[in-house]
Structure 1
């Protein structure tokens, strides 16, 4: 898709969200689009359609600056590299259907990453459920918190992390968790066991429920 670089496009994300902006770069894993003075990184797995905005009624122009994640280090445009370069920065993520998350990425593992939110605290997020990521400028901190408060998020100490998401969730056996922020396909309870792709939990009434790990977008230990 490099022949469309600097073209004004419409990109529709699975679920109906449409971005209208200047396409900056693309790879098999990531598309970078400039929208409203922000660089948005879109994993290709969530892109439904892409088309040129021939009329360009919004008079969208190519940006004068270069995306910071691409210029920081000379690396391939992969999801793993983008997540790694975003560590320590204020980023906006979309994972669940309609709620953006603000905070900082602290660890990037094989198939998931750890996100620290001032609102939700520690969150384990599988890479495959990330719909987009937007880096914010250095002094633009979430929720009006101070720089000291924001920097403290990156210093939160966690036990040694497993490389795979399923193995990491198995480490939470006996802990209370919120799955998917209490939104669609969510559950709140204690993890009893993880085997294969299933999580066995006890809910608020101590009933046993089983959740498919493939549909877990976020695990938030309580």
Structure 2
């Protein structure tokens, strides 16, 4: 375990990718993820996106102890175990674009997971690009919708092992990348090959996107 664990129980500031700073009590440190409590929510942050963690300089600030745990307690918390334990729980996640997504993790694969959003429907998200997640309380649902509004199996086709393999399934289909409806992120997926995605955008031009920098994909 990292020496970060010496800060457990202290109020800390955590600077993450995107220049976002979270403040809260450090609850847990895992091999590749940390958990803080900000007096309202548990925030799970993969260490991949932690740029800095330090004791808060606001000495007068107090944060109450959480009255309950957020997820099922496991012996050694990890990023993958957190995703698996979050399946089926209404969750807020942040990937990119200055806006968080709300919905449910439905499946976890080797290097991506599947997220169902009432707004965007099924989204395929690279594991390396999830910045943080916050599970809501167990009895909450998005927009107060009832459980009957959510399909039991939102994506019924077989899921492939890797993110690259899964993207190949959508060759020949219109797709949206990174949940951004911009001219360079929406188009016809022509081919996934040699680490690049060939996308035909609205004006008929072909562009080539590095697969390592593609954060998510969904169908419009």
TM range (shorter): over 0.9
CA distance in 2, matches of 1:62, 1:143: 28
User: Which has the larger share of helix?
Assistant: 1
Unaligned runs of 5+ in 1: none
Tell me the CA shift for residue 185 of structure 1. Answer: 9.2
Deviations 1:45-79 (A, max 9, x none): 1111111125433222332323324x2xx353111
CA distance in 1, matches of 2:181, 2:38: 28
CA distance in 1, matches of 2:75, 2:187: 41
RMSD between superposed Cα atoms in Å:
1.7
Tell me the CA shift for residue 28 of structure 1. Answer: 2.7
Which of 48, 65, 83 aligns to 1:62? It is: 65
TM-score w.r.t. length of structure 2 = 0.92
Structure 1 residues 61 and 36: alpha-carbon distance in aligned structure 2, compared to 1, 3 A threshold = closer
Tell me the CA shift for residue 183 of structure 1. Answer: 6.0
| CA contact 1:9–1:51 (8 Å) conserved in 2 | yes
**1:196 matches 2:194:** yes
Structure 1 residues 186 and 115: alpha-carbon distance in aligned structure 2, compared to 1, 3 A threshold = farther
CA distance in 2, matches of 1:198, 1:118: 29
2:121 is aligned to 121
1:94 is aligned to 94
Aligned length: 217
**1:17 matches 2:15:** no
CA distance in 2, matches of 1:188, 1:110: 25
CA distance in 2, matches of 1:138, 1:27: 23
CA distance in 2, matches of 1:97, 1:110: 24
Tell me the CA shift for residue 197 of structure 1. Answer: 1.0
1:132 is aligned to 132
Deviations 1:194-220 (A, max 9, x none): 102101121112221111111111101
**1:176 matches 2:179:** no
| CA contact 2:39–2:66 (8 Å) conserved in 1 | no
Unaligned runs of 5+ in 2: none
Structure 1 residues 127 and 28: alpha-carbon distance in aligned structure 2, compared to 1, 3 A threshold = same
Tell me the CA shift for residue 186 of structure 1. Answer: 4.7
Tell me the CA shift for residue 14 of structure 1. Answer: 1.7
2:147 is aligned to 147
Deviations 1:72-111 (A, max 9, x none): xx35311111111111110000001410100011110000
1:109 is aligned to 109
Tell me the CA shift for residue 184 of structure 1. Answer: 7.6
